[in-house]
Amino acid sequence: MQILFLLPKYKWVFAVFLDYLIDKIQCDLRMGRPLSFVLLLFLFAHCSDVKGIKDRYLAERMFYRANKLYQNIQVNPRGAGPSDYRQARESFRHILVRYPVASLRTEGHRSEKLRGELLALTGTSQMNVADLFFQEGQFDSAIVEYQGVVRDYAAEQVLSSRAQYYIGLSYQKIGKWGHAVSAFHILLHNYPPFTGTPNQPDVNILRVPVYIAQVYREQREKAEADRHFQKAREYLSGVVQEWPNTLSAQFAQNQIVSSYLSQEHWREAITALAPLVAHGDSTEPPEASFTMAELYQEKLNDPAQAMKIYTDMLERYPDARKLSRVHLGMGKIHLQRGELAMSREEFKGVISDFPEQAAIGARAQYYLALTYEVEGEWDRALNEFRWIMENYPNSPEALQVPHHILDHYIKFSDRELATSAYSQALRDYDRFIARNPDSPQAAYGQWYIAQCHEMMEQWEDAIAALEVLVENHPLSPQVLFSLLRIGEMYETHLEYPDEALKAYRRLVEKSPRSQLAQIALERMERLRQRTK
Amino acid sequence: MRVVERINILIWTWIQSLRSAKKISIFLPFFLFTLLQSVILTALILFFVPPFSQVLVPLMERLYGEPALHYPHNFVVLPTLFFGANRWLSLLVSWLVIGTATLMFAAKYRSETVQARRSFYQALRCMLPLFVLGAVEWSLVFLMTRLFRFMAPEILMWGAHSHRLLRLAGFLCNVVIMTPFAFTTPQVVLGKRNIWTALTGSFSLAKSNFGVTFLIIAIPAFFSWIVDVAAGRAPLMVAKFSPEIVVFLLGLGVVVTLLVNFVIVGALTALYLGVAEGTP
């Protein structure tokens, strides 16, 4: 049996043999050998779909092979090189060359169903070619391909609307924000906000209006941002009114909330949340209720109103899974009010009653430790913090703990314990990163290492740690913050203005239109004036 | 007969059979069967290409639904289709293949001239008894397969390895059914018996040499069975490796079947001649 496991090595031999057989038969038919021709005429005088089935099958086979290459890249994008991207693209292109869209649309000898299936295959192939360019960072080429999809597959709404969305994103990536906004507006005007029925929302389309406004806000163009937030709400309200009581309307309403949250208009956000609160199913409270309670508690400083919402949820959904979050929220309100015993009761309840919900459990455990810290029982708090690292080692809270402990000792000016906690924190973070090297959490671990160095005023070590983050986790959202922080440390603590300028320049090159890039540009200007 | 003697006879029959492999012409009837199997396999692989598509597209769609016509799902159903077609092929053709081969083996063992064409016509003349006896055996094996399929849901509840045990038990039961029929073809083509006497003669020979006859069939057939089982796990193969690997395994099965049939028919003919006629 062992030999059977060696077979995949030689599978190409059989694939090639099959190709040969198929091509041989096709070649014979093409050359019109008299016997084959007569035989075929005799046998298939009334066979209309045979060619269609053969074409579809061959196209599916080509697509399957190309898609394998595509999937390999998706599974491990960091391990994929330019040749992998090129090979995958070429495989998809073979399909497009063999089955040109123009001939698929005009040829009448295939049934409508077969033509539709072939068009779906070629459309997805062209989309994948474009996606591969996009993923590889070749945005100009991606735009050309996406435009091809929009042009050739206008009737296939899901495909063409997605291509139009990515045209906008590609323009944004190459810094042509004006073109991007135009592309997004075409998307909003030419396509309905759902795919098929109003209960299948097209999330890309429904997100775009608020997204445009958020980008303006990031670029510190407040007036333009406010104008676009207003426009977004008008569009989204139109969706809610035109298709009421559908999932599209619900998603649009969520986006209206999101627009108010982005503008920090908390009261308006709560008003917009009201219709969503009514949309919960019979067993689980809606997400909107939690958002509303958190807004009251954290932004409007109205814990009484937040507590009322939580109590209401307890009454309406006594058996819900999400009750853990309700108790967690109530515990946080008690903690905020200084009702430590009551808050502990809530947090302990979450940990013991919902053991399967590790993420919520880790959060509750963190707040439980905080209650002891607030009370001044540091030893007990330390014990509870360490328990998080034992019981929830891969949670975000476990990442916070070493930093939090070090912070405590520094605040209380206990240099000796701080030094010990510093060494321990570095060991803990190294272990965490070694355990989860490719997870997004690893970037945060690296960020915390730099933070610990900074707290101990080890500026060069902190910079080195942040450089590791930039190098090892180029896609992490922490990269821009890291570059900004590197610049700051060079500028203010080490007084190396040239190095600071370099770091700020890297940030601007990496994301020229981000809010952080604006800050970096201002600092670069300040540094230049200072050096003059 | 003691166990050692039985083992000696078993080994001797295989040696006789393998020695005959030097005479390539004896392979001819088996090649005929392999050729037909290959045509069926090729047709099933190229079901979407004319002329096969005319018959196979509607057939596959009817049997397995629309997904069977799509790549790579067609490779998932390919082993089932091929085994099904193979079963009917063996009903229609195996009597002629085994009859011709038995005559050629006998000629070789008797140191006579091995003539493929003459053996073929001789076997063809015994068409009726060979086909009837072959059909009876085929029907019993078919019923046994059906019985196992009927019992399968209950047996599969027994435990994690029950499906493997079920397959193995099915294989052994089939061999048990084939054992009493093992000498029907030599009885007809060499002993010139009619249907009834060939059947009783075969039963009595198999009864007195049950262990040897059983092992002559079971041991070589086991290799063929392993390849078939591997090919039967098509969904796994398609998902884990490449869809085309199924074709390779089925092709390998065809080749292994050729060799296995050669060894079994040669050994049974040698045993028949040795026990019934005292030759070679």
For chain A, percent of residues with pLDDT exceeding 70: 89
**Lowest-pLDDT range, A384-388, A452-456, B223-227, B231-235?**
B231-235
Cα gap A252→B157, rounded to integer Å:
50
Residues in contact with A192: Cβ distance below 8 Å, sequence separation at least 6, in sequence order = A157, A202, A205
B51 to chain A: which residues are within 8 Å by CB? 39-40, 43-44
Average pLDDT in the A166-172 region? Answer: 96
A308–chain B nearest CA distance, Å: 53
Checking if the pLDDT of A110 tops 80, the result is no
Interface mutation vs chain A, best among B48, B52, B74, B222, most A CBs within 10 Å = B48
A38 to chain B: which residues are within 8 Å by CB? none
How does B38-69 read in b/e, with b if 16+ C-beta sit within 10 Å?
Answer: eebbbbbbbbbbbbbbeebbeebeeebeeebb
Cβ within 8 Å, pair A7-B248: yes
Give tens-digit pLDDT for A260-277: 999 999 999 999 999 998
Most distant CA pair in chain A, distance: 98
| Of B182 and A46, the one with more pLDDT | B182
| Of A260 and A21, the one with more pLDDT | A260
B236–chain A nearest CA distance, Å: 13
Cβ within 8 Å, pair A60-B71: yes
pLDDT score of A41? 43
pLDDT score of B268? 95
A8 to chain B: which residues are within 8 Å by CB? 241-242, 245
Checking if the pLDDT of A291 tops 90, the result is yes
Cα gap A122→A128, rounded to integer Å:
10
Average pLDDT in the A483-510 region? Answer: 93
**Per-domain residue ranges of chain A:** 2-46
| Of A50 and B64, the one with more pLDDT | B64
Give me the residue from B53, B230, B247 closest to A54, CB to CB.
B53
Q: Which residues of A touch B (CB under 8 A)?
A: 1, 4, 7-8, 10-11, 14-15, 18, 21-22, 25-26, 39-40, 43-44, 47, 50, 53-54, 56-58, 60-61, 64
pLDDT score of A165? 97
Give tens-digit pLDDT for A408-438: 999 988 888 999 999 999 999 999 999 888 7
What Å distances lie between residue B27 and B23, B63, B87, B270, CA to CA? 8, 35, 21, 16
pLDDT score of A2? 36
Checking if the pLDDT of A474 tops 90, the result is no
pLDDT score of A29? 47
Give me the residue from A1, A8, A64 closest to B72, CB to CB.
A64
How does A414-453 read in b/e, with b if 16+ C-beta sit within 10 Å?
Answer: eeeebeebbeebbebbeebbeeeeeeebbbbbbbbbbbbb
Cβ within 8 Å, pair B51-A25: no
What Å distances lie between residue A419 and A235, A445, A463, B201, CA to CA? 56, 19, 19, 96
> 0.90 cut: is pTM over it?
no
**Lowest-pLDDT range, A99-103, A186-190, A322-326, B189-193?**
A99-103
A58 to chain B: which residues are within 8 Å by CB? 48
What 8-state DSSP symbol labels residue A8?
G
Contact A487, A504 (CB under 8 A): yes
Contact A232, A259 (CB under 8 A): yes
Contact A471, A483 (CB under 8 A): no
pLDDT score of A15? 52
- Burial environment of residue B160 by CB neighbours within 10 A (0 to 12, 13 to 18, 19 or more): exposed
Chain A interface includes B66 (CB < 8 A): no
pLDDT band at A220 (very low <50, low <70, confident <90, very high): confident
B231–chain A nearest CA distance, Å: 10
Chain A interface includes B230 (CB < 8 A): yes
pLDDT score of A398? 93
Checking if the pLDDT of A471 tops 60, the result is yes
pLDDT score of A27? 46
Pick from A262, A268, A336: which is nearest to A298 by CA?
A: A336
Give me the residue from A11, A40, A50 closest to B241, CB to CB.
A11
Checking if the pLDDT of A219 tops 90, the result is no
DSSP string, A53-114: HHHHHHHHHHHHHHHHHHHHHHH-GGG--HHHHHHHHHHHHHHHHHS-HHHHHH--SS-HHH
Q: Which two tokens stand for residue A455?
A: 């707290």
Cα gap B192→B130, rounded to integer Å:
11
Dihedrals φ, ψ of A46, to 5°? -110, 25
> Token pair 């012409």 is at which residue?
B25
Name the helix (H) or strand (E) containing A195: none
pLDDT score of A505? 94
Chain A interface includes B159 (CB < 8 A): no
Nearest CA in chain B to A39: B51
A111–chain B nearest CA distance, Å: 15
Cβ within 8 Å, pair B54-A25: no
A440–chain B nearest CA distance, Å: 29
H helical segments located in A191-322: 203-218, 222-242, 247-262, 266-277, 287-294, 303-316
- Per-10-residue mean pLDDT of chain B, 280 residues long, equals 83 92 94 95 92 88 88 89 92 95 95 93 94 94 86 70 81 93 95 93 92 94 87 76 88 94 95 76
Cβ within 8 Å, pair A8-B54: no
| Of B232 and A446, the one with more pLDDT | A446
Average pLDDT of chain A to the nearest whole number = 88
